[in-house]
Structure 1
Amino acid sequence: MITFLISIVLLVVGYFTYGKYVEKVFGIKQERKTPAYAQEDGIDYVPMGTKSNSLIQLLNIAGVGPIFGPIMGALYGPVAFLWIVLGAIFAGAVHDYLTGMISIRNRGAHLPQLAGKFLGNAMKHVVNGFTLLLLLLVGTVFVSAPAALIHNLTGNWMSLGIIVGLIFVYYILATLLPIDKIIGRVYPIFGALLVISAIGIGGGLVITGAPIPELTLENMHPDNVPIFPLLFLTISCGALSGFHATQSPIISRTTKNEKAGRKIFYGMMIAEAIIAMIWAAAAMSLFDGKSLSAIIANGGPAAVVSEVSVTMLGAVGGTLAVIGVIILPITSGDTSFRSARMILADYFNIGQKKFSSRLWIAIPMFVVSFLLTKIDFTLLWRYFSWANQSTAMLALWVGAVYLKRSRKNHWIATIPAIFMTVVTTTYICNAPIGLGLSMNVSYLIAGIVTVLATVLFFKSKFDEREALTVDDDREVA
């Protein structure tokens, strides 16, 4: 319990200290006109208040990732707490803040456009492919996961196929209609359910004195469970997630003032980390490693969610908690498809004011996603984890280059970028879904790739003209 409580405190303190430092390094300009005003179109560029933007950002990024990921990460024991805290403060929240704020400074650009500007035009195409793959995987997983939870919650009286279809209908509407018509109106309701479920589970852990294991030197290396690199891919949302880099630009187009950035981007990542801590702690306290592994194997993380909720809060409270968990993936799935539609529109330079222009981009995406729902969830999650953290790695390098060109402290992005380059390269070299090489060979290749990327970064020379064009100053008031 002490490790859990200290971790929560550290996350909050991190927001007020390191978050403020990151904001200072970036250098906000309150007088600068944001894309919400400079490019207002009533569809994607719509000025909205800080509270609404913060809530939408939290619901966008907090899908099943900060719940399912930490539940599976709980198999590693209390060391998972360490990654959530350090990852969120020094990597995840920095990643979210920089992608959101750099997007604001560049007319609400999405990650592929930012990668093209700061990493080279070839990377624009690479990152475009990565992000679209990631968003389709997220959108698909976030159809399947809530559908399974709803199916169980309703006593299986409605077929799984019908539930999937209804979720797709909602996703289509949320993808095509102006952001303030559905997302801006229903998210406050969804947010209330999210808060109820998180407070209910977290409060239940504290009040009942749940036996949450403490982090010690003895359990830093769990038996028969290799920490590196698997832990850093299993727990992504809640610590560091490339998916967030696809969501922050959505809100960069609705943010009224740069001063709101720390609360919206850095702060909501910290809030997601707290949710991840609660669910990781709940899974560890109610199940030992063996039984937790068995439950996940038989019913997936969704089975753990249901059992934890009912055990901690009873039938009624547990049902409310499960509903809150259902809300999380739905409110990330809808913006996954919306973000994919916006990225494709930017990539092919297609205006989005006409409904027909939005429709013909969206239809193929939903067809592909529906076909992906027929694939095993576990297999999808494996690809999602690698694509997700690879996107995070690329986004961190974008942030590092931006700060270096701006003559600012780039180390806040460079250090986590280097670390994630090692993690993602090692995983894809070793994993069965990748090259399937031995771990020692994978380490060697990852080391070479990381050194080359780092040398390339430091060898790159930026002239004064480039330093002055990191921001699109056509949007200055």
Structure 2
Amino acid sequence: MNGLTLLVGVCVLFLGAYVIYGRCLKRWFGIDPARPCPSKTHEDGIDYVPTPMAVLFGHHFASIAGAGPIVGPILAASMGWCPAMLWIVLGCIFIGSMHDFAALFLSVRNEGRSIAYVIEHELGYYGRQIFLFFCVASLILVVAVFTSQIAESFISTPSVASSSIFFMALAPIFGVLTSRRILSLAEGSLIFVPILFILVWFGTVVPIDIPKILGCTPETATSVWIVLLLYYGLCASILPVDFLLQPRDYLNSYLLYAMIILGFVGVFAYQPDINTPAFVTDEPLVPKMFPLLFVTIACGACSGFHALVASGTSSKQIKNEAHILPIGYGAMLIEGLLATLAIISVCYLDLPALREVTKGPAPIAFAKGLATFSAKLGLPYETGLNFVSLSISAFMLTSMDTATRLARFVWQEMLLPRGANPDQLETAQAQQGKLRSFFSSRWIATITVVVLSGWMIFSGESAQIWPVFGASNQLLAALTLLAVSLWLTRTKRPVLFALLPMILMMVISVWALVFLIIENINRSISLVTISVFLLAMACILIVLAVKAMAKARKA
């Protein structure tokens, strides 16, 4: 198999899926372009902000992409490229993209509220609280892990740190000029996108090397970056979305597009043969391929985190229901293309070389692969390696600050009384007394999330319990599809297209949690405890869902 043939084939399948299956989803859900969206009916200039589709697509895509679709597929390649690619293609088309579309649609139809509101409507108050607790725990870990990884990348490649800081300073200027109509989006893009790429180069000229600047050890410097990054996440969560988060994600998305284009052109020029076996039969993990393959690839095919992005920030910014298909369904398909590039970037190696390169960080293996391909275009290997590394760090930073904001939303929603709306927060706080009002305020909610994330990083727990959250991410997707299936059943719409993927994802995630409990029963008490806790929450929600489904069918 040639890598170019594989890439072109996936592109054709995804394009066909977008046109054909996307049209079916629009009809089944009832997309109505004339219906007012919550970004207009609840506009507040902070979270609810009507946003041009190109800007929102950039924000949404940069937020969901992260390092997940790169790391997962590369790790899964050790089981053979064929099972990984089958799950990426089929998972993206029929599960992951549909999941993102449905989560975004339901949130838009429910005034920009999170998917937890839909769960409360279908499963009751306690179902909502269990789901929200699950979400906030997952998001705190996401913030902790990405913050730690970004800090380590800043230490290993100081130019990435300086370029990232330059991007943060550039974004508010772009945001103010475009939001106040001083520049149109097209004019702003023509000016600021070239500046963005100039800053990529300028970062290599003035690298911020904390160990040299402060005369400290790399470990101390990493801790300094962690504190600074957490403070940045706090600010990004509090500030109006169109001041920092939205324009930075929009500009950063051009790095992502450029990296994907570089990967595509590099594959066309290099035309790598796939030398890794289609199926690996001597790997110890092969007998455990089901469910490990699915939870390892995770974001490359389906991710519950995307539902939190879609219903947490994107639904509050979308200005027309017609944009749900390209943003919800289309962005996930492009993420599937990124996952395909990740597979090709390491599977042009033979199996021993693949195993050797994946002993190190997966993003570095990806960067080395793309740099090798792009060298065929005349781009120096080191330049390609630095650019791809910077792009991956930008994805992680985008995921980190978005996850911080989402965790704040979920924390505040978790403290709302039964049946209250998130946009009625101040009224709800007044009704609940001073204590709940204090903990659900925007500042305290964000500080709590940041402090808990920092505690996990410095205690070392984030690295220890990370494996269980591969399964929890898939479980989150299954629970979202559970809410979607209940809504479709209650509204008398076709349901099998969501119900069957929900059952598959539920089986995979529950199986993975049971597997992790058995594997770690004598190794890690904390990991086993969390796995049991997540499994118990999932079982409770499943019981509530079965009762709700039976009730909906009788109605």
Distance 1:204 1:460, change over 3 A: same
Structure 2 stretches lacking a partner, 5+ long:
160-207, 211-220, 375-380, 417-424, 430-436, 523-534
- Aligned amino acid, residue 254 of structure 2: A
- Native 8 Å contact 1:76 1:222 kept in 2: no
Could you list the per-position Cα deviations for residues 218-273 of structure 1 after superposition, in whole angstroms to 9, with x for gaps in the alignment?
A: x2867432320001100111210000111001111111111110011111111111
- Native 8 Å contact 2:74 2:343 kept in 1: yes
Distance 1:167 1:454, change over 3 A: closer
Looking at structure 2, the residues matched to 301 and 55 of structure 1 have their Cα atoms a distance apart, in angstroms, of 24
Indicate whether 1:75 and 2:117 are aligned.
no
Looking at structure 1, the residues matched to 453 and 518 of structure 2 have their Cα atoms a distance apart, in angstroms, of 20
Residue 149 of structure 1: how far off its partner (Å): 2.2
Residue 123 of structure 1: how far off its partner (Å): 1.3
Residue 291 of structure 1: how far off its partner (Å): 3.5
Could you list the per-position Cα deviations for residues 348-397 of structure 1 after superposition, in whole angstroms to 9, with x for gaps in the alignment?
A: 24349999931111111111111222326653431221221111010011
Partner of 2:456: 372
- Aligned amino acid, residue 70 of structure 2: I
Question: Aligned residues, how many?
Answer: 453
Looking at structure 2, the residues matched to 435 and 422 of structure 1 have their Cα atoms a distance apart, in angstroms, of 20
Work out which of the residue numbers 234, 247, 253 in structure 2 matches 1:185.
247
Looking at structure 1, the residues matched to 328 and 454 of structure 2 have their Cα atoms a distance apart, in angstroms, of 31
Partner of 1:42: 45
- Aligned amino acid, residue 383 of structure 1: V
Distance 1:310 1:124, change over 3 A: same
Deviates more, 1:330-339 or 1:308-317: 308-317
- Native 8 Å contact 2:274 2:344 kept in 1: yes
Could you list the per-position Cα deviations for residues 267-313 of structure 1 after superposition, in whole angstroms to 9, with x for gaps in the alignment?
A: 1111111111111221212x33344334433x332432343344334
| SS in structure 2 at match of 1:17 | helix
Residue 90 of structure 1: how far off its partner (Å): 0.3
- After superposition, residues 40-189 of structure 1 pair within 5 angstroms as 40-78=43-81, 79-154=83-158, 157-158=209-210, 159-189=221-251
Looking at structure 2, the residues matched to 266 and 220 of structure 1 have their Cα atoms a distance apart, in angstroms, of 32
- Native 8 Å contact 1:137 1:369 kept in 2: yes
Partner of 1:345: 412
Looking at structure 2, the residues matched to 100 and 434 of structure 1 have their Cα atoms a distance apart, in angstroms, of 36
Q: Which one has the bigger helix percentage?
A: 2
Partner of 2:346: 283
- After superposition, residues 392-407 of structure 1 pair within 5 angstroms as 392-407=477-492
Residue 13 of structure 1: how far off its partner (Å): 1.7
Residue 14 of structure 1: how far off its partner (Å): 1.2
- Native 8 Å contact 1:54 1:268 kept in 2: yes
- Native 8 Å contact 1:45 1:254 kept in 2: yes
Determine what percentage of the aligned residue pairs are the same residue. Answer: 28
| SS in structure 1 at match of 2:237 | helix
Residue 213 of structure 1: how far off its partner (Å): 4.8
| SS in structure 2 at match of 1:32 | coil
Distance 1:201 1:114, change over 3 A: same
Looking at structure 2, the residues matched to 418 and 28 of structure 1 have their Cα atoms a distance apart, in angstroms, of 25
Indicate whether 1:315 and 2:382 are aligned.
yes
- TM-score normalized with structure 2 length: 0.76
Work out which of the residue numbers 500, 511, 521 in structure 2 matches 1:426.
511
Partner of 2:265: 203
Residue 39 of structure 1: how far off its partner (Å): 1.2
| SS in structure 2 at match of 1:108 | coil
Partner of 2:395: 328
Residue 112 of structure 1: how far off its partner (Å): 2.0
Could you list the per-position Cα deviations for residues 77-132 of structure 1 after superposition, in whole angstroms to 9, with x for gaps in the alignment?
A: 22111101100110001110111100011111112222111233221111011111
Looking at structure 1, the residues matched to 303 and 387 of structure 2 have their Cα atoms a distance apart, in angstroms, of 27
Looking at structure 2, the residues matched to 3 and 318 of structure 1 have their Cα atoms a distance apart, in angstroms, of 23
| SS in structure 2 at match of 1:431 | helix
- After superposition, residues 439-454 of structure 1 pair within 5 angstroms as none
Indicate whether 1:265 and 2:328 are aligned.
yes
| SS in structure 2 at match of 1:210 | coil
Looking at structure 1, the residues matched to 542 and 131 of structure 2 have their Cα atoms a distance apart, in angstroms, of 21
Deviates more, 1:417-426 or 1:115-124: 115-124
Indicate whether 1:416 and 2:501 are aligned.
yes
- Native 8 Å contact 2:489 2:552 kept in 1: no
Structure 1 stretches lacking a partner, 5+ long:
438-444, 465-477
Indicate whether 1:293 and 2:337 are aligned.
no
Could you list the per-position Cα deviations for residues 412-453 of structure 1 after superposition, in whole angstroms to 9, with x for gaps in the alignment?
A: 11011000111011111121477859xxxxxxx99xx79978
- Native 8 Å contact 2:275 2:351 kept in 1: no
Distance 1:290 1:147, change over 3 A: farther
Cα RMSD after superposing both structures: 3.0
Residue 400 of structure 1: how far off its partner (Å): 0.7
Could you list the per-position Cα deviations for residues 134-187 of structure 1 after superposition, in whole angstroms to 9, with x for gaps in the alignment?
A: 111111121122222232222893222233233223211111101000012222
Work out which of the residue numbers 294, 305, 325 in structure 2 matches 1:232.
294
Distance 1:272 1:151, change over 3 A: same
Deviates more, 1:404-413 or 1:167-176: 167-176
Work out which of the residue numbers 454, 470, 473 in structure 2 matches 1:385.
470
